[in-house]
Amino acid sequence: MNTLRFINIGLTVPLLVSLVATQELNFRIAKESKYVRLNDQFSRSRNFAFALLEVSIHLIFSIPYREPVFCYYATGRTVCNFYSDLVMLVAILRFYLLFKVYYHLSEWKNTHSLEVCDINNIKSSVMFVLKCQLKKNPYRFLFTMFVGTILLMSYIIRVFERAYYNTNPIVTALNE
């Protein structure tokens, strides 16, 4: 189990470097297309803020060889959750990366689509691609989002309900 955590950490480093490099490349493209002033710096741009946000989201992982417990009193008994479970709930935010990958690989990211967006003064973003997908295939899009939401919510509910059925002897002693 801890080996997987180290592999996760090792694979996260190249991902973080690529995220920052992508945001810097987007900043350079915006500078060349004159969306950004030529004397602006990357460290003071909106792209840098997005890069920091993405890096902070991907740096969320549980600490190896450490399994602290977070206990609180609820519904007349002591309930204990593992710290790693709570961290994984926050780490679910990483799923936004799937939307970004879909944005870059979609049919609305080709040169013709980008030219049409520029002509109509529309920013091509993840939300634009999702809206186009909703208009083109509404049933498949809604079904996919529905199933994805059910899977995510069921995992979140499982994490919080698992603490009520914990058979750990220490937690059982706290409730007596």
CA dihedral 170, 153, 89, 71 (to 10 degrees): -30
Tokens of 127: 């939300």
DSSP, res 36:
S
Q: What's the whole-number mean pLDDT along residues 48-74?
A: 78
pLDDT digits (tens, 9 = 90+) for 106-158: 888 888 888 888 888 888 888 888 888 999 999 999 999 999 999 989 988 88
The pLDDT value recorded for residue 44 is: 79
The pLDDT value recorded for residue 174 is: 54
| Average pLDDT of the chain, as a whole number | 79
* Secondary-structure percent of the chain, ordered helix, strand, coil, rounded to 5: 75, 5, 20
pLDDT digits (tens, 9 = 90+) for 11-25: 777 777 887 888 888
Cβ atoms of 33 and 123 closer than 8 Å: no
Q: How many CA atoms lie within 13 A of 140 on its CB side?
A: 6
The pLDDT value recorded for residue 151 is: 92
